[in-house]
């Protein structure tokens, strides 16, 4: 039987130091009798700290040595290893905890589940693993919000698609609500909104500078706004920007046909054929495949705007591939 973890608090610092030294150091301490469920002076378990630090090998060792994947810890016993890993997007750790029996829909302090954390922060791969292990895509967040709405708000198309594949669209009004949010944010100046939120929290610019960056991963763009003081970031916000693609996918789910010009607008706002907003519009037009769509695409090919011409060319190429013998 595992020794009471609180009784072993004196051994905890050694185990917590070993978490950062590597798996061999952890193995040696576990073999020497240090309990896998040791806690530190703040009540945080070794498993929780390994989970939030994205150390899948150590997590597996602690689980194999008897650590409970569902044991809440922390100052108010409100933190769950699965939620901590999901919050950081640590997919391999999440999968290890689930494979060891962690309950995917268990709520931690303030009512958050692991899926709520993953969806709200746009960690699509983590959300997919949680859903594959049975997390409920229709389980509302702590304030009653639908996960599909949160994914649309975050701007993560892969997360929206994962939720839809696993049945999130079955919840009453969830798709319509998420579509409304995606459309709203599509017409929102996200950078200015993020700047305003940071100014409200940290005051007008003066003692800090604002640094804005954009990064593209797997077809999605993330916009980041950071406050920097003495060369070091001290606060910031980030937001994925796939709202155009999300609106298009949700409209397809509802059987709604956006106008040709609206789909072109969504594509052109992204500014790149490599981004989800462009691709989702082109795919939606290709699926229509009718003469009216061909005529609209041909008209774009004759436009003065080179980006609009590129979009028209892309749509026509997709339509041609779809109707050619090799594309049947």
Predicted confidence at residue 325, as pLDDT, reads 59
Residue 223's domain comprises: 190-240
Predicted confidence at residue 324, as pLDDT, reads 59
Residue 196 lies in a domain: yes
The three-state secondary structure class of 259 is coil
pLDDT per residue as tens digits for the range 123-182: 999 999 999 999 999 999 999 999 999 999 999 999 999 999 999 998 889 999 999 999
Looking at the structure, do residues 233 and 279 belong to the same domain, yes or no?
Answer: no
Residue 185 lies in a domain: no
- The CB-based long-range contact list for 63-71 (8 Å cut-off, 24+ gap) reads 63/36, 63/96, 63/97, 63/100, 65/30, 65/36, 66/2, 66/35, 66/36, 66/37, 67/36, 67/37, 68/37, 69/97, 69/100, 69/101, 69/102, 70/101, 70/102, 70/103, 70/106, 71/37, 71/45, 71/47
Per-residue pLDDT tens, the chain, 328 aa: give them: 334 444 444 444 488 989 888 899 999 999 999 999 999 988 999 999 999 999 999 999 999 999 999 999 988 889 999 999 999 999 999 999 999 999 999 999 899 999 999 999 999 999 999 999 999 999 999 999 999 999 999 999 999 999 999 999 988 899 999 999 999 999 999 999 999 999 999 987 678 999 999 999 889 999 999 999 999 999 999 999 999 999 999 999 999 999 999 999 999 998 899 999 999 999 999 999 999 999 999 999 999 999 999 999 999 999 988 765 554 4
Looking at the structure, do residues 272 and 213 belong to the same domain, yes or no?
Answer: no
- Residue 232 — φ and ψ, nearest 5°? -125, 130
* CA–CA dist 39, 65 (Å, integer): 15
* CA–CA dist 270, 52 (Å, integer): 34
Looking at the structure, do residues 218 and 262 belong to the same domain, yes or no?
Answer: no
Q: How many domains does the chain have?
A: 3
Token pair of 189, please? 């100046």
Q: Return the exposure string of 201-232: e unless at least 16 CB atoms fall within 10 Å of the residue's CB, then b.
A: eeeeeeebeeeeeeeeeebbbbbbbbbeeeee
Domain end position, chosen among 136, 170, 199: 136
Residue 45 lies in a domain: yes
Looking at the structure, do residues 262 and 236 belong to the same domain, yes or no?
Answer: no
Looking at the structure, do residues 24 and 86 belong to the same domain, yes or no?
Answer: yes
CB burial of residue 290 (10 Å; 0-12, 13-18, 19+)? exposed
Looking at the structure, do residues 21 and 126 belong to the same domain, yes or no?
Answer: yes
Residue 155 lies in a domain: no
Q: Which residue has the tokens 């003066």?
A: 206
Looking at the structure, do residues 110 and 19 belong to the same domain, yes or no?
Answer: yes
Looking at the structure, do residues 296 and 226 belong to the same domain, yes or no?
Answer: no
Looking at the structure, do residues 232 and 296 belong to the same domain, yes or no?
Answer: no
Looking at the structure, do residues 20 and 79 belong to the same domain, yes or no?
Answer: yes
Q: Return the exposure string of 81-94: e unless at least 16 CB atoms fall within 10 Å of the residue's CB, then b.
A: bbbbbbbbbbbbbb
Looking at the structure, do residues 115 and 19 belong to the same domain, yes or no?
Answer: yes
CB atoms within 10 A of CB 299: 13
Residue 145 lies in a domain: no
Residue 205 lies in a domain: yes
pLDDT per residue as tens digits for the range 288-320: 999 999 999 999 999 999 999 999 999 999 998
* CA–CA dist 168, 154 (Å, integer): 16
Residue 35 lies in a domain: yes
Looking at the structure, do residues 229 and 284 belong to the same domain, yes or no?
Answer: no
Predicted confidence at residue 14, as pLDDT, reads 80
Please measure the distance between the N-terminal and C-terminal CA atoms of the chain and give it in whole angstroms.
63
Contact 131, 163 (CB under 8 A): yes
Residue 171 lies in a domain: no
Predicted confidence at residue 12, as pLDDT, reads 44
């Amino acid at each position: 039987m595992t020794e009471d973890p609180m009784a072993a608090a004196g051994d905890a610092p050694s185990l917590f130091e070993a978490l950062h030294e590597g798996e061999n150091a952890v193995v040696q301490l576990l073999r020497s009798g240090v309990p896998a469920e040791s806690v530190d002076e703040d009540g945080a378990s070794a498993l929780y700290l390994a989970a939030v630090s994205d150390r899948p090998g150590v997590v597996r060792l602690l689980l194999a040595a008897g650590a409970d994947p569902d044991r809440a810890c922390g100052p108010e016993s409100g933190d769950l290893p699965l939620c901590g890993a999901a919050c950081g997007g640590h997919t391999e750790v999440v999968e290890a905890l689930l494979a060891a029996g962690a309950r995917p829909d268990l709520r931690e302090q303030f009512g958050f589940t692991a899926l709520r954390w993953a969806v709200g922060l746009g960690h699509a791969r983590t959300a997919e693993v949680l859903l594959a292990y049975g997390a409920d895509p229709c389980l509302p967040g702590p304030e009653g919000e639908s996960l599909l709405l949160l994914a649309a708000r975050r701007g993560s198309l892969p997360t929206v698609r994962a939720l839809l594949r696993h049945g999130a669209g079955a919840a009453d009004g969830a798709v319509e609500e998420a579509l409304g949010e995606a459309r709203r944010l599509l017409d929102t100046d996200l950078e200015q909104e993020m700047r305003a939120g940071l100014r409200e929290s940290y005051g007008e610019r003066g003692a800090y500078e604002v640094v804005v960056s954009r990064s593209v991963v797997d077809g999605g763009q993330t916009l980041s706004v950071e406050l920097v003081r003495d060369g070091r970031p001290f606060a910031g916000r980030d937001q994925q920007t796939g709202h155009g693609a999300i609106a298009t996918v949700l409209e397809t789910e509802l059987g709604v046909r956006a106008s040709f010009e609206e789909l072109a607008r969504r594509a052109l706002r992204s500014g790149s054929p490599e981004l989800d907003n462009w691709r989702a519009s082109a795919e939606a037009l290709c699926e229509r495949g009718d003469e009216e769509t061909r005529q609209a695409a041909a008209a774009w090919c004759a436009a003065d705007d080179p980006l609009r011409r590129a979009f028209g060319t892309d749509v026509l190429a997709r339509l041609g591939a779809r109707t050619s013998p090799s594309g049947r």
